[in-house]
Amino acid sequence: MEESTFLKRKAIEIRMDFVKMIYEAGTGHTGSSLSNTDILVALFYKVMNLDPKNPKWGERDRYVQSKGHAVESYWAVLADKGFFPKEELKTYSQFQSRLIGHPNNKVPGVEVNTGALGHGLAVSVGMALAAKKDSKSYRVFTLMGDGEQAEGSIWEAAMAGAHYKLDNLVGIIDRNRLQITGSTDDVLSNEPLDEKWRSFGWEVIEVDGNDMDQLVDVLSETPRVTGKPTLVLANTLKGKGISFAENTVGWHHHVPTKAEFDQAMDELSKQLEVFV
């Protein structure tokens, strides 16, 4: 199977894994996880230098999920990659499970606890600066939400990243244009988002965040400019992959009913058949 086909199939399989996980647990951020799945698959299966058998390997690329609420796709990817057994996905959000509703660094593959929005980029700046000071070659990738851009700490970290010329730092915005209470334009407009990041000293690349080939091409080429951090503005569709969830604000934190779950799995199964 060619690599592009493998990655596209994998993204559908990951969606099926975590939609089932959310349905069985009765909780989860379904729409947000569906929008960021392709980004995570591109990073973990192609772009980043990782060793699931040695998750603390010093030369590994670092990943920080700043939009921590969209953790379900992250758990499914880590399990599929072998950071922990896939059977453990069944414990999601159960009593004493380490697979909680936000990234938890007791889980192999998770660098830092996240959840309070606006913190992940600042932590990533510190990691990237440490790599520079230690003469290490690893890169640091951090995934942010577009609603998260309303947090002032994002812009403090953006200034620091440019000031220290952290060309080993890659910020990614899951630009699905919806947040928990409505569209980003209605809640607090962040346009022109690309120009704002450029004005803070970052190299900005815009990409279709649900197009696997584009994602792999762009993310594999980061960092793009010596002496500048890179911001990938990934235009995505909230609820991607499930027709009745796509671009629907109500699916930010919605658990499928039995009928919705059955329809979702049927749709995803048919998408897989295209790649048989």
Amino acid identity for residue 269 in this structure: S
pLDDT level of residue 42 (50, 70, 90 thresholds): very high
Q: How high is the pLDDT of residue 56?
A: 96
In sequence order, the 6+-apart residues with CB closer than 8 A to the CB of 72 are: 18, 21, 22, 28, 29, 30, 33, 92
215 vs 74, 203, 219, 254, CA distance in Å? 17, 16, 6, 27
Q: Judging by DSSP bridges, how do beta strands 169-175 and 230-235 pair with one another?
A: parallel
Alpha carbon 145 to chain centroid distance? Answer: 9
Which tokens sit at 154? 């994002």
Assigned CATH topology for domain 3-273: Rossmann fold (3.40.50)
Which tokens sit at 209? 């965040």
Residue 164 pLDDT exceeds 90: yes
Q: What share of the chain is helix, strand, coil (3-state, %, to 5)?
A: 45, 10, 40
Distance (Å, rounded) from C-alpha 259 to C-alpha 241? 16
pLDDT tens profile 190-232: 999 999 999 999 999 999 999 999 999 999 998 889 999 999 9
**Rounded mean pLDDT of 50-73?**
97
Residue 180 pLDDT exceeds 90: no
Q: How high is the pLDDT of residue 168?
A: 97
Reported in sequence order, the residue ranges of 190-256 that DSSP labels E, i.e. its strands, are 203-208, 230-235
Residue 1 pLDDT exceeds 80: no
Whole-prediction pTM value? 0.97
Task: Choose among 42, 59, 48: nearest CA to 4.
Answer: 42
